[in-house]
Amino acid sequence: MPFRPGDIDGFNSDVDDWTRDTKSQVVDEMNSLGIIHRPGSTSPVPAQRALKTGLRKNAGITNRISFKFPRHLVFVHKGVGRGTTIGQVGSTSRKPAPFLNPVIDRNLDKLTGIVADHHGTLIVNALMIR
C-alpha cells in the first residue's frame, strides 16, 4: 500500500516549516531571557547560533524532530551550575532560564494537527481504489 509522493512531500514540508518556526521562537525566547554570549566564555559560539535542528525520516516520511544544543545550556535552562544544585534552585542568584520547553509546549498542538491531518490523508489516499 504505497503512499502518494505528493502527500509525503506535503507532510515533510509542513513538519520542516513547523521546526524552523519553532526554532526561531526558541531563539527569540533565549533573547528575551537574556541568554547572551559573555566575553571570556569558553563556548566558541553564542547559544542562539549553537542551536541546531534535525529531521529524521523513515521510508521517506519525517518521524523525528530534534533540537540540539551544547550540554551547558541544559544547566542554563534548569538554573544550576557553578555550585548551585537542583535542590538550591531559587535560593541562589542563579535563576532558571527555560528557553526550550515553554516554546515546545506552546507549539505542540500545531504539530499534533499537522501529524493528524497528513497521516489521515496518507492512509485514506493509500486505500483508495484506482
Strand partners, 86: none
pLDDT tens column, 82-128: 788 888 887 888 888 999 999 999 999 999 999 998 877 777 766 76
- The predicted model gives 43-60 an average pLDDT of 91
- Is residue 128 included in any domain, yes or no? no
**Domain range for 94:** 5-123
Distance CA 59, CA 6 (A): 14
Would you call 83 helix, strand, or coil by DSSP? Answer: coil
- Is residue 41 included in any domain, yes or no? yes
- Is residue 130 included in any domain, yes or no? no
- The predicted model gives 2-22 an average pLDDT of 89
- What is the SS3 assignment for 33-76? CCCCCCCCCCCCCCHHHHCEEEEEEECCEEEEEEEECCCHHHHH
pTM for the predicted model, two decimal places = 0.84
* pLDDT at 6 > cutoff 80: no
**Contact criterion met (CB below 8 Å) for 50 and 36:** no
Distance CA 33, CA 71 (A): 18
pLDDT at 104: 97
- 121-127 long-range contacts (CB < 8 A, ≥24 apart) are 121/7, 121/10, 121/11, 122/3, 122/4, 122/7, 122/8, 122/11, 122/61, 125/3, 125/4, 125/7, 126/1, 126/2, 126/3, 126/4, 127/1
**Residue 46 corresponds to which cell in the numbers above?**
553564542
- Is residue 65 included in any domain, yes or no? yes
pLDDT at 1: 45
pLDDT at 52: 97
pLDDT at 129: 56
Domain count for the chain, please give it: 1
- The predicted model gives 67-93 an average pLDDT of 86
pLDDT tens column, 19-50: 999 999 999 999 999 988 777 777 778 889 99
